[in-house]
Structure 1
Amino acid sequence: MVSMTRDAFADLSFISFIWKRVRPKMCFEVFGILFLVTSTMILLLMFVPFMRIGWMNLFSAEGGNFILKPFTDLAESPQYFLRFIPLIFLVVLMFLAPFIVKVEEELFRYGHMEWGSVSRQSVKFGLIHLVLGIPLAAPLALIILGFFLGYKYRKAYMETLPYCGEDLNMAHARAMATSIAYHTVFDCMLFVFLLAGLAVSFF
């Protein structure tokens, strides 16, 4: 993460480029997807008991995200100053979001235009989150996000294609920028809600 932070400061233009693509309509769309993903996850957790299990449950009864858990646990620390650490960590994640997302989008979206391929990549995108140790319900719900991002990538590609001539890389570049922007907004919106939840622990 230190290396990624250093790279981010060295390429602030990329962060600016991605955020300049964000529009109010995009935020409303992403909020709707976040609501749908969250609702799906909650329903799975409520009605399918084994969906509450992730590999983190082998080490902790309450489970959780193995990357975030050490930081979120500090939010309840009796040492007041330690409660700032998870807040700072989430702010750093928000700053790095375009770079983290870029890796995921290149892996799961780039070059996938056929609906069958989009669907397969969406499933892979959701299930890869199992490595975080989160309950099974969350990766399954994230397949919805994967399909949404795949749709946005394909749509941007098809809209750009008529203006590209033989330069297909231009269409792929615009499509990637679009899916990265949507994905970045989703992650940052999620981080904002987490920040709000952690901030409550201060009072």
Structure 2
Amino acid sequence: MPIVTTGFHLFLAYVLYRLARRVTRNPRASVIIRGLRPRHFGRAAALIVPVAVCAGLLLHYVPLLQWGWWRVLTGRENEGLMPSGDARRAEVLPLVLSLVVLSIFVLCAPMLAHWEEQQYRRRSELQSGADRFLRQLRFGLAHLVMGIPVGFALALTVAGLGFMRAYLVGGGRAGHRGKGVLEATRTHLAYNWLAAGVAIAVLLSSLLW
């Protein structure tokens, strides 16, 4: 297994672990989690499908959008936190490290989602349609730091637009920004947990079978 792969996973696990320790002591995280309702998971599930379709189309029809720093460092295509299918079968250690990282991410997700909603959705009611779209585009591209392909980062704009709608409907449009941010945060958290759950299930199936 390449040293860079091990180093990246260990570094990310350490950073997320430090963050998880802070999250577990933050009372706001429990407030966010206790407020989760079926509608949040319904919205999240409805967003995952178009994001996946959009990402698939962009990566298939625009090969240049398959670029990502993870691919540059490792030579592996279409990867980020998760190893490719062949790598999962051939290398157990990166698989286990990916599971550790994703598990810690689940703990950090409430406050990470809240921070992103503060940065990318709060005060959206004051913006024009074009400014709203560009802001969500920046939200998607910010995820390039994870090593995902550019096409997938662009597809996350769709998720950002969905979270923005949750913010506006949840109170932001009426000027209740705190309520709007909480509603968007819970939708975002549900999205992250569903996506992480799918990723963990795929990795476990590769490890066991």
User: Is TM > 0.5 for Structure 1 vs Structure 2?
Assistant: yes
**After TM superposition, which residue ranges in structure 1, 4 or more long, deviate above 6 angstroms?**
72-75
The structure-2 alpha-carbon separation of the partners of 1:76 and 1:107, relative to structure 1 and needing over 3 Å to count, comes to farther
Measure the CA separation in 2 of the matches of 1:83 and 1:62: 15
Residue type at the aligned position of 1:194: A
Measure the CA separation in 1 of the matches of 2:55 and 2:82: 19
TM-score, normalisation: structure 2: 0.80
- Once the two structures are TM-superposed, the CA of residue 118 in structure 1 deviates from its matched residue by 2.0
1:165 is aligned to: none
- Once the two structures are TM-superposed, the CA of residue 86 in structure 1 deviates from its matched residue by 2.8
- Once the two structures are TM-superposed, the CA of residue 88 in structure 1 deviates from its matched residue by 3.0
Paired residues, what number?
A: 188
Structure 2, unpaired ranges of 5+: 1-15
Q: Of residues 179, 194, 202 in structure 2, which corresponds to 1:197?
A: 202
Percent identity of equivalent pairs? 21
Does the 8 A contact of 1:76 with 1:83 survive in 2? Answer: no
**Correspondence list, 1:9-28, <5 A:** 9-11=24-26, 13-28=27-42
2:166 is aligned to: 152
Structure 1, unpaired ranges of 5+: 162-167
Does the 8 A contact of 1:74 with 1:85 survive in 2? Answer: no
**Correspondence list, 1:5-44, <5 A:** 5-11=20-26, 13-44=27-58
Q: Of residues 91, 101, 116 in structure 1, which corresponds to 2:130?
A: 116
The structure-2 alpha-carbon separation of the partners of 1:25 and 1:127, relative to structure 1 and needing over 3 Å to count, comes to same
CA RMSD of aligned residues (A): 2.4
- Once the two structures are TM-superposed, the CA of residue 125 in structure 1 deviates from its matched residue by 0.5
2:19 is aligned to: 4
- Once the two structures are TM-superposed, the CA of residue 143 in structure 1 deviates from its matched residue by 0.5
1:134 is aligned to: 148
Does the 8 A contact of 2:123 with 2:172 survive in 1? Answer: no
- Once the two structures are TM-superposed, the CA of residue 59 in structure 1 deviates from its matched residue by 1.6
Measure the CA separation in 2 of the matches of 1:175 and 1:94: 22
Does the 8 A contact of 1:75 with 1:86 survive in 2? Answer: no
The structure-2 alpha-carbon separation of the partners of 1:35 and 1:190, relative to structure 1 and needing over 3 Å to count, comes to same
1:186 is aligned to: 191
**Correspondence list, 1:44-193, <5 A:** 44-63=58-77, 64-65=79-80, 68-69=81-82, 76-78=90-92, 83-113=95-125, 114=127, 115-158=129-172, 161=174, 171-193=176-198
Measure the CA separation in 2 of the matches of 1:9 and 1:37: 30
The structure-2 alpha-carbon separation of the partners of 1:46 and 1:151, relative to structure 1 and needing over 3 Å to count, comes to same
